[in-house]
Amino acid sequence: MADTTVARPIDPEVIAQVAQVATAAKAASRKLAQLTRSAKDELLVAIADALVAAIPQIVAANAEDLARGRDKGLAPGLLDRLMLDEGRIAAIADAVRDVAGLPDPVGEVVRGSTLANGLQIRQVRVPMGVLGMIYEARPNVTVDAAALALKSGNAVVLRGGSAAGSSNRAIVDAMGAVLTAQGLDPAAVSLLDQGGHDDARALMTARGLVDLVIPRGGADLIATVVRESTVPVIETGTGVNHVYVDVGADLDEALAIVLNSKTHRTSVCNAAETMLVHAAVAAAFLPKVLAALGSAGVTVHSGPEVAPYAEAAGAAHAMAGEGDFDKEWYSLDLGVRIVPDLDAAMEHIARHGTMHTEVIVTRDRAAARRFQAEVDAAVVVVNASSRFTDGGEFGFGAEIGISTQKLHARGPMALPELTTTKWLVEGDGQVRV
């Protein structure tokens, strides 16, 4: 049944405030679009240096957010996403320097030709203009989004979750000081943090002032933005990701891949949420992998066919309830199923996956090629961890999100995905007859 819920009207004062911020960002974007690559790179290096210099202030602000989060009962995985320390801030600053070192997509000629009548036509990359970012308790996204926006010549209006409000403000203040020092309008990186949920709703309906909205967070946030936005949206979907251990798998290799995919970092969208095991290798593989998962603190959610293996391995076990195979856990929980063959594995993925990242472990090249060809996901991995679905790991520098849609951008999004194109036509007096 279609959603017939009528949204509450947005506070007119918030609409006016957001329009004012977006208008200033629009003006700032016009100057950013004209910056040379060297000017943008110098700006980003200065921002990276400023973030390192502001570590004490950012850590103190983050401590306020963490304290509020604990008081409100924020889940451990979400607290981990929220937490910033000296090492994480230094890593975020390094990611900004990495973006500075990337090729500038602006001005790149996508295609072009000289027509028979002598007209020269070129399709070139140009900035989008003003980006709107709506995201949850991920202060690193504040920096990633700003760095990628500035490098691609865009202004950005940030609407981070209230759980990270103090951290985001400290970060944006540090970046704004650099923009001002370099003669640029600090409105190029703006933060909405006054109007509550209406901030986000006003941003996603600021058509004509904001050129693109990118939501990054949980399923409810993304669905709300896709449903309510009148500004074009790139959907960054949730990650109900699978690791399928095929009959042709190297089981030692599979063990390492499953553990890394699930336990390396549980609170991120490229972590594995379900393991599928071919029935022919279940007896050999499950005792080892479940013992290792149990030692890592993972709770296994499965049907009765897996339960005896989990009990024998000493792994925490719960019977899978309705919807458990559709969950993005954000925790040390893993759905496990035994499947009769590759077709059953792909059928499960089609039913429960979110088209983010899907992994097959196999030495059977035919099975690997079938999996790559038939599984519908932004990233399909053979014999490696799901954790590699990441802009940094792909060599893009920081990423602004991982798109699970099929138009314009899919998979990790970096600089080229934050540009559009225009056609440049040059003639010598030609007229159409």
* 88, pLDDT greater than 60: yes
In this prediction, residue 2 carries a pLDDT of: 42
In this prediction, residue 7 carries a pLDDT of: 67
* Paired tokens of 236: 């960054």
In this prediction, residue 3 carries a pLDDT of: 47
Which superfamily, per CATH, for 241-388? Aldehyde Dehydrogenase; Chain A, domain 2 (3.40.309.10)
Burial class (CB in 10 A: 0-12, 13-18, 19+), 314: exposed
Q: What is the pTM of this model?
A: 0.85
Element (H, E) at 432: none
In this prediction, residue 335 carries a pLDDT of: 97
- Mean pLDDT on 324-332: 93
Express as a percent the part of the chain with pLDDT over 70.
98
Answer whether 400's CB lies under 8 Å from 214's CB.
yes
- Mean pLDDT on 300-313: 95
* 4, pLDDT greater than 50: no
Partnered with residue 164 across adjacent β-strands are none
In this prediction, residue 1 carries a pLDDT of: 36
* 330, pLDDT greater than 90: no
Most confident of 155-164, 188-197, 391-400: 155-164
In this prediction, residue 412 carries a pLDDT of: 93
* 94, pLDDT greater than 70: yes
Element (H, E) at 360: strand 357-361
> CA–CA separation, 92 vs 86, rounded Å?
10
Tally of residues, the chain = 433
Q: Which residue has the higher pLDDT, 250 or 405?
A: 250
In 3D space, the residue among 222, 155, 142 whose CA is nearest the CA of residue 185 turns out to be: 155
Q: Which residue has the higher pLDDT, 5 or 181?
A: 181
In this prediction, residue 49 carries a pLDDT of: 98
171 band by pLDDT with thresholds 50, 70 and 90: very high
Q: Which residue has the higher pLDDT, 137 or 159?
A: 159
Residue 65 CA to its chain's centroid (Å): 22
Fold annotation for 12-237+405-425: Aldehyde Dehydrogenase; Chain A, domain 1 (3.40.605)
- Evaluated on CA atoms 312, 315, 318, 320, the torsion sign reads negative
Most distant CA pair in the chain, distance:
83
* 292, pLDDT greater than 90: yes
> CA–CA separation, 161 vs 256, rounded Å?
35
* 409, pLDDT greater than 70: yes
Amino acid symbol at 277: V
Domains of the chain, by residue range, sit at 12-237+405-425, 241-388
- Segment 183-223, tens digit of pLDDT: 999 999 999 987 688 999 999 999 999 999 999 887 888 88
- Segment 257-275, tens digit of pLDDT: 999 999 999 988 999 999 9
Instruction: Report the chain's mean pLDDT, rounded to a whole number.
Output: 94
Express as a percent the part of the chain with pLDDT over 90.
86
